[in-house]
Amino acid sequence: MSPGVPPDIKPLEYARSMGRRIIGELELAYRIIEAQWSEDHALPFLAVTGSNGKSTTTTLLHHMMTSAGFRTLFGGNIGNALTEEIMKMREGQRTGGGPLVPDVVVAEVSSFQLEAIEVFQPHIASILNITPDHLDRYPSMDAYEAAKAGIFRNQQSPDILVLNADDPETMKLYDVRLRGKADSPQVCFFSRKRVVEGVYVKDGRIRMHFPHLEQGINDLELMATDNVRIKGVHNLENAMAASAMALLAGCPAGIVMEVLAEFPGLEHRIEAVQEVDGVKFINDSKGTNVGAVIKSIESFSGPLVLIAGGRDKAGNFSALRDIVAEKVRAVVLIGEASEKIGRALGDVTTIVRARDLKDAVNISRRLAEKGDVVLLSPACASFDMFLDFEDRGRQFKKIVRELVPVNA
């Protein structure tokens, strides 16, 4: 089944009643990879999940591994199905005049994909964070977290799991499902806030310390956090997770540092569009849940005008109240969820409703003062007004680039 298909629809229930086994595309890809290549040589499977930051982390990891000379099979939830990438590589075997065998698989995996696994067992996996998301599909946070936990369900030593020590829900999952359990994977952590066994920040520098893993990396200093090209607290976490996985998979530290210093980030993730009359316009259309928006706002020191709204995924918009009260000058709302967001935030900042995205940009420009940031970070899905988050982001950029400075 495709990950976008809910597992409880009638055709699947009927198939189950007939005794048919149902697996997902990720499971199918994993089985093909194991059958196609793993008998010839150990083929590490590196998998990244989390509510936010998956695509950036997975792409960083992919660049690190390819820059180090590894032939990478790269895909998953990031937009190109692993089964499709396998077919491309197999086609290369038939037409390229020789065997085309990957050295490593790098995959972004979602909770939807992890719902339908059986034997999927990544050699190195990471959970970046767990914040409320997709609660229009899951009956509870517990159900959502259980789906995410599928990434380590079949792992065991010497497999490795990399976890965010600063994320409460991720650590709760670790405490309940892993701590002290037999036949569990080796676990290491990353943290912006404290020293951990894994990757951490101390005195403005990224350091690594894996004393208990079989790889035995001890007290390795990577680089100053200021030298990481992609900015924002969430991107620092993404950088640390990718670095840990790459080093554990055999990527040299020098390559890791080069990629962190050069990688520009992905489109629609805190993407600077342009500055108009002293106001910076930022495209974070991929901020489709409340947790992502909080991290995005935390990345800016000055006052913000926030453009939010869209199709609600059962988000708890009240969780935005504290940071909006602290940093957001005004919230401009669009889409189906505008009334719900307005009720949640209306007493902590100025709320303005816009007809559409162009109207929202124009209103935000009038509300913003010189030195402010106008941030599109919707906390919602895009499907009420746009094809997808990419369409929303590109329309935002087009509108902003058509703004005419006052003194032009």
Catalytic residue numbers, as ranges = 54, 77, 134
Separation of alpha carbons 124 and 239, rounded Å: 16
Q: For 382, which DSSP code?
A: S
Residue in 271, 241, 260, 293 with CA at minimum distance from that of residue 58: 241
Q: Which residue has the tokens 């590490």?
A: 44
Separation of alpha carbons 110 and 115, rounded Å: 9
* Cβ-Cβ contacts under 8 Å for 58 (sequence gap 6 or more): 48, 74, 76, 78, 106, 107, 108, 242
Token code pair at residue 187:
């676990």
CA distances from 244 to 65, 184, 215, 389 (A): 12, 19, 11, 29
Amino acid at 131: T
Q: Where are the beta strands (DSSP E) in 103-152?
A: 104-108, 124-127
* Cβ-Cβ contacts under 8 Å for 165 (sequence gap 6 or more): 171, 189, 190, 191, 193, 194, 196, 198
Buried b (16+ CB within 10 A) or exposed e, 109-128: bbbbbbbbbeebbbbbbbbb
Separation of alpha carbons 247 and 331, rounded Å: 42
Separation of alpha carbons 3 and 134, rounded Å: 13
Query: Which phi-psi region, left, alpha or beta, contains residue 157 (left: φ > 0; alpha: ψ -120 to 50)?
Result: beta
Token code pair at residue 60:
């960083």
Query: What is the C-alpha end-to-end distance of the chain, expressed in Å?
Result: 54
Which H or E run contains 181? Answer: none
